[in-house]
Structure 1
Amino acid sequence: MTEFRPYSRVFLRALTLEAHIGYYAHEKGVTQPLIVDVELMLSGETFGHDDIHGTVDYDKIASIARELAGGHVDLLETFAERLAARCLAFPLVKSVRVRIEKPRAVPEAMAGVEIMRVKGEG
Structure 2
Amino acid sequence: MDLGAERRLADAAQGLRHVFVRGLALDALIGVHRHERAARQPVRIGIDLAVEDDGARPMSRAPVGRDELARVVDYERVAAAARAIVAEGHVMLVETLAERIAEACLSDHRVRIARVTVEKPGALSDANSVGVTIERRRP
With normalisation by structure 2, the TM-score equals 0.79
* Superposition map of 1:1-122 within 5 A: 4-46=13-55, 48-70=65-87, 71-109=89-127, 110-120=129-139
Quick check: which has more Rg, 1 or 2? 2
**Percent sequence identity over aligned pairs:** 38
Greater share of helix residues, 1 or 2?
Answer: 2
Determine if contact 1:8/1:45 at 8 Å carries over to the other structure.
Answer: no
Quote how far apart the aligned CAs of 1:11 are. 0.4
- CA distance, structure 2, for counterparts of residue 44 and residue 113 of structure 1: 28
- Consecutive aligned runs of 4 or more in structure 1 exceeding 4 Å deviation: none
Q: CA deviation at 1:60?
A: 0.9
1:14, 1:45 → 2: CA distance? Answer: 28
Structure 1 contact 12–37 (Cα < 8 Å) conserved: yes
Per-residue Cα deviation, 1:55-110 (whole angstroms, up to 9, x for no partner): 11111111111111121101000000000000000121011100111011111211
Long gaps (5+) in structure 1: none
Determine the C-alpha separation between the residues in 2 that align with 1:95 and 1:75: 22
Structure number with higher strand proportion? 1
TM-score (structure 1 length as normaliser):
0.90
